[in-house]
A and B are shown apart, each in its own frame.
Chain A
Amino acid sequence: MITKTRPGRYGEFGGQYLPETLMPAVAELEAAWLDARADAEFQRELARVLRDWVGRPTPLTDAPRLASAVGLSRVLLKREDLAHTGAHKINSAVGQALLAKRMGKRRIVAETGAGQHGVASAAACALLGLDCVVYMGSVDVRRQQANVFRMKLLGAEVREVDAGSKTLKDAVNEAIRDWVTNVRTTYYLLGSAIGPHPYPAMVRDFQTVIGREAREQCLARLGDLPDVVVACVGGGSNAIGIFSAFIDDANVKLVGVEAGGEGIASGKHAASIVGGSVGVLHGSRTLVLQDEQGQIRETHSVSAGLDYPGVGPEHAALGQSGRVRYVARTDREALDAFALLSRTEGIIPALEPAHAIAELSAIAKDGAAQNVLVCLSGRGDKDLEIVMREGVIR
C-alpha cells in the first residue's frame, strides 16, 4: 500500500530533517529499537508491563444507545480510556521508557500539549526509576493545571515554554533543543507518530497493540471485521495504532477525524491533512499548516491534544493514497459528541476522541456501514473545566 523508498519514508513523506548533532542519535535509536523489537525478552517484559501495570487488554464495549442515537446498527468502542493514566499515550510511553533504559539513558525529555503524554511519560519514568523532564507551553500549563500537578506528583519536572504560540509545537521545539544539548545522556520520548524517523514507525509499532486487540475482539464479538474504523487524528498515534491492524483489509473503511476548530474556512483549526499542504516540521516532511512563506501557522482546537500544525507522515501518505479518508469535525460537533456519549453510554470521553464520535452520524447517513469500530483514545476528566466553560450542559 505504502511505497517505502527507504526506511522512514512514506512515499514523499517522512525523513529526518534534523540538525547534524542528532543524526547519530536517531541512527542509534533506530538500531536499538530494531534490536529490542527482535528480542523476545524485551517483548516479554513489555507485554508484562502492558498487562499488569497498564491494564491491557482494554475492553471492547458495545454502545447500543449511542448507535441508536446516531442511526447505526452497531458501534463498538475500543476503550483506551481505561488504560492506566487514562489514554492510549501510555502504550508508547512505557514502551519507549523501557527502550531508553535498555539503551542506558537515564534522563528522559518529553513534550506535552494537554498533558496526557506528559503524565504517561512521568508515570513510566516513575515505574522504571528514570529522570523525567516534560516541556509544556505556558498556555497549556495554565489550561491543564491538574495534569501539571499529576506530572509533578509522579516525580517529573515540568518546564514551561514561553516561546512562539506557547503550546504543543513550541513544547516539541524546546524538547528537541534539550535533546540536542544533552544528546549523549538523554532519550527524547516523543508522544505521537510524528517527528524524524524512526519515531513515526516506532510509535506506531508501540501503538499497534490497540489494533491487534481490537481486531481479535471484533472477530470474536461480530464473527467478522468491522465495516468502518474511526479514530481522531492530531499527530495520529492512536489512529495509526488501530488502523494498522486493518490496512490490508480492503473491505474495512478507515476514517481519520481531524480537529476542525471553528471550521476549515475560518482558518482557525488544526486539520493538517484536510486543510494543510506539504512542508517540513519537527524533522519530518508531511502535511502542515503554514502560510505562503512556509511559516508554521498557529492552530486552534478546543482539544489541546489535537492542537498541532502537523500530522504523522504515514497519515499524510495514507491520505494521499486514499486508503484512509480524512475529515474534520468542528469544536461544536466534538462538544456535542462529548455530551452524547456521556449521556447514552455513561462514558465521558476526552475531547480528542469526541471528534471521532462526532463523525458517526455522517457514517450512518452514508448507509453502507453496519458495524463501526471507534478508538476511544482517552477519558474526559482532564477536559471537564473546558467543557463546563463551553456550556455543553445548559
Chain B
Amino acid sequence: MTVSTAATGTARIARAFARARDEKRLAMVVYLTVGYPDRAATSGLLRAALDGGADVLELGVPFSDPLADGATVQRASEIALRQGISLAECLAEAATIVRDRDATVLLMGYANPFLQYRGGLNRFASDAAHAGAAGIIVPDLPSEESAEFDAALDSQGLARIDLYAPTTPDERLARLVPHARGFVYCVSLTGVTGARRALGADVAEFVGRVRRHTSLPIAVGFGISAPEHVASLRGVADAVVVGSAALDAVSAAPADRRADALRAFVSSLAAAGRA
C-alpha cells in the first residue's frame, strides 16, 4: 500500500469518517488489545480488521486496573501484560500498520501508562505523531483532568477523543462538546465495556443531545456485538465502535483461524452499517 503523506492525526480521522459518509455507511471503529491473544498475533489481527472493513483501529494499551472495562477486555489486558506489552510496543504496532496500510490508528488506554511514558507526555505525543497515530482515547481522563494531555497532543496535531455518557447532563455537554476533536465518542449505556444483548433504549435520544453541540462525527460504542445493533444505529450515529465482541470473536476461533474469524465478524457488522 501507499505510504501516507504527513497528514496530522485529526486530519486522518476526518478523512476516515468522510470516506464512510461519502459512501453513505456507518464508519467502523474496531478495538483490539495489543498482545492479545499473543504478541505475534496482533499485527495479523489488525490487518484482518482492516480487511473486514474497519475505518479506524483502536489499539488497546493494556493496564493492570482497567476500571471501565468488563470481563473481556480485563482478561485480554491481563494476558497482554503477562507478555510485558508496553506503551512503546503499542506505538511500534501503530507505526507498522500505518506504514503498511495507511491506517487511521488511535491508542486507547488508561491515564497512568501514558503519564509514565519515558520522557513524559510531550515525548509520548512526539513519538505517537512520528508513528503516524491519529490520537488517543483515555477512559479515565475527563475534561477536568485533560489539560496536560491536550497541551502535549495539540502541539503534534493529535486528537484526544472525548467520551460522553447518557448520564452527562445537557449543561455539561454544552460546555465541553464544542471543544471535542476528531470525533465524539458516545458511550451507549451506563456501564463498563463488554458485549450486550441489546443496546441502551435511550441511545438515539442521547446522540441527539450530543449532536446539538457539534458538527463532528459521532461514534457509539460499548455493548455493540451484533449486526442488528449496528443497523439500529444507521441514521442515528456516524460510526460504531466494537471492542469486546471483536476480542470474543478472536477468542472463540481456533488458533489458526483467528484472523479469518475476526475479518468475517467485522465484515458482518460493516455490512449492517451500509444503507
Contacts and interface: CB of A to CB of B under 8 A. Distances in A.
Interface of A: 15-25, 163-164, 169-170, 172-173, 176-177, 180-184, 279-283, 285, 288, 290, 292-296
B192 A25 contact: no
A209 to B, nearest CB: 30
Interface residues of B, number: 40
Nearest to A17: B140
Nearest to B186: A20
B64 A16 contact: no
B145 interface: yes
Contact of B168 (A15, A23, A173, A180): A23
- For the complex of A and B, list the 3 residue pairs with the smallest distance between their C-beta atoms, beginning with the closest: A294-B116, A21-B165, A294-B113
Nearest to A294: B116
A280 B115 contact: yes
B140 to A, nearest CB: 5
Contacts, number: 115
A29 B144 CA distance: 17
Nearest to A6: B144
Contact of A24 (B64, B144, B168): B168
- Name the prevailing secondary structure of the B interface residues: loop
Contact of A18 (B66, B142, B168): B142
Interface stretch (B29-37, B46-54, B67-75, B242-250): B67-75
Interface of B: 63-68, 70, 74, 78, 81, 86-87, 110-118, 139-142, 144-145, 162-169, 172, 187, 190-192
Contact of A173 (B65, B142, B162): B65
B82 to A, nearest CB: 11
B167 A183 contact: yes
Nearest to B70: A177
B85 to A, nearest CB: 9
B87 A293 contact: yes
A296 B64 contact: yes
Contact of A293 (B86, B165, B167, B168): B86
Given A16-B142, A16-B144, A180 B192 contact: yes
Max count, chain A CB within 10 A of own CB: residue among B140, B162, B168: B140
Max count, chain B CB within 10 A of own CB: residue among A16, A288, A294: A294
Nearest to B81: A295
B142 A295 contact: no
B65 A279 contact: no
B145 A17 contact: yes
Contacts of B141: 17
A311 to B, nearest CB: 15
B167 A15 contact: no
Contacts of B63: 294-295
Contacts of A170: 65
B116 A23 contact: no
B262 to A, nearest CB: 25
A187 to B, nearest CB: 15
Contacts of B117: 294
A296 B65 contact: yes
Contacts of A283: 140
Max count, chain B CB within 10 A of own CB: residue among A18, A170, A177: A177
A296 B166 CA distance: 30
Contacts of B115: 279-280, 294
